[in-house]
Amino acid sequence: MSTKNGGETVAMLPAERRAVSVIALIAMLRMFGLFALLPVLSLYAARLDGATPLLIGLAVGAYGLTQAGLQIPLGALSDRIGRGPVIVGGLAVFAAGSAVAALGDSIWTVIAGRLLQGAGAISATLTALIADATREQVRTRSMAVMGIGIGLSFMIALIAGPVLAGFFGVPALFWLAAALAAAAALMLLTLPGSIEPPATPQSWNLRPALRPDLLRLDGYVFLLHAILTASFVALPFLLTDRLELPVGAHWKIYVGAL
């Protein structure tokens, strides 16, 4: 991997390539567990005790509520106590939420599990870890590698999720998400030991994050995710009820869209 700086190509150092690959893989493993649930969760939630249309939507989208609320605080905490503890702690919370949802037999238990999954909000910390592990000249390329990895994870999970749910059931997907979170935590052990932490703790001042241009972008991202989540609340029912496709065959529709 390389990028250009003033007309000269700046290659990533071996330690940078290794660090970026590991961090991207951690993000991919975590996101695969989430994305695999998206195409099937609303159908599963509809069969649970106490399910209503509102609560089904909440079960699908609850993850995003705690994720949005804790992303910045946990990122700031990682400036103080280090990236590793926050990432491991976030993955542990995510795995615990997955287990709660897998064991739940009511809509409220699944919602609680999804809220707990979202509380393991480590995306900002992973991004900060990439910044710690790379030089400025190759940082944009490094961030792009993680973004590409997450995109690939989404595409694979969108196809694999319905297939796995058709064979093993949705609770198995929650257990898979927990197992992948544990594997991602172990991946941290393979990071190069030369990554330098922030030289000085960053301020907890939120004023820079409240700039109008950033808030505008935040609004666009919120709308994007809201539309995506709402689509996966309704679309599985359309495929099942109108097209009479079994859950295990929904991937055939999604692969065409990809």
pLDDT tens sequence across 55-72 = 999 999 999 999 988 998
CA 64 to CA 222: how far, in whole Å?
10
- Residue 13's pLDDT band, with cuts at 50, 70 and 90, is confident
User: Is the pLDDT score of 6 beyond 60?
Assistant: no
pLDDT at 203: 60
Residue 201 lies in a domain: no
CA distances to 18, 49, 80 from 21, rounded to whole Å, are 5, 42, 25
Residue 3 lies in a domain: no
Q: How many domains are there within the chain?
A: 1
Higher pLDDT, 3 or 209: 209
Residue 71 lies in a domain: yes
Residue 76 lies in a domain: yes
pLDDT at 252: 87
Residue 187 lies in a domain: yes
pLDDT at 189: 85
- Residue 196's pLDDT band, with cuts at 50, 70 and 90, is low
Residue 232 lies in a domain: yes
- Here the CATH number for the domain that contains residue 167 is 1.20.1250.20
- Residue 206's pLDDT band, with cuts at 50, 70 and 90, is confident
- Residue 43's pLDDT band, with cuts at 50, 70 and 90, is very high
pLDDT tens sequence across 26-41 = 999 999 999 999 999 9
pLDDT at 8: 63
Q: Which domain holds residue 149?
A: 14-193+209-257
pLDDT tens sequence across 227-241 = 989 999 999 999 999
CA distances to 83, 115, 203 from 233, rounded to whole Å, are 34, 17, 39
User: Is the pLDDT score of 201 beyond 60?
Assistant: no
Asked whether the beta carbons of 178 and 95 are under 8 A apart, the reply is yes
Instruction: Find the length of the chain.
Output: 258
Asked whether the beta carbons of 32 and 151 are under 8 A apart, the reply is no
Residue 6 lies in a domain: no
pLDDT at 190: 83
Place of tokens 């702690």: 89
Residue 203 lies in a domain: no
Mean pLDDT of the chain: 89
